[in-house]
Amino acid sequence: MSSPRPFPWILALVIDAALVVLFALLGMRSHHDGFSIVALATVAWPFLAGTAIGWGIARAWREPAAPLRTGLVVWLLAAGGGMVLRVATGGGFAWSFLAVTALVLAAFLIGWRALAALVRRIRRPAASR
């Protein structure tokens, strides 16, 4: 029996980046009147940088779709590191924003990995379980 193919790390990286940008877009939609690429980049960059740091610390390319080993680390650095970078570069801080950031990024960055793991488990042939 062949083992399942590993999840492509580049796809995982693109998914993470897209979800962090989506998080920024959703926040802008709720709190800003207009939209521009510059404004999006300003809002998203600290969290994208935190995500990149999380990827490096977790060595996410090894097991990019692992919900806990990779997803948890990437999430903690995306949310926590992103918030630290945001505040350090003059962005605002509120406890409610930290809570929303943590919850949304957890749902996004751990959530897609949990769904992928579930799908892989369901799709695995019964003989290999």
DSSP states of 16-36: HHHHHHHHHHHHHHHH-S---
Confirm if 55 and 76 have CB atoms less than 8 A apart. Answer: no
Q: What is the pLDDT of residue 34?
A: 76
Write the pLDDT tens digit of every residue in 108-125: 999 999 999 999 889 876
- Of 48, 39, 32, which is closest to residue 108 (Cα–Cα)? 48
The two tokens of residue 78 are: 């995306």
State pTM to two decimals: 0.89
Write the pLDDT tens digit of every residue in 52-105: 999 999 999 999 999 999 999 999 999 999 999 999 999 889 999 999 999 999
Cα(94)–Cα(116) distance, rounded to whole angstroms? 33
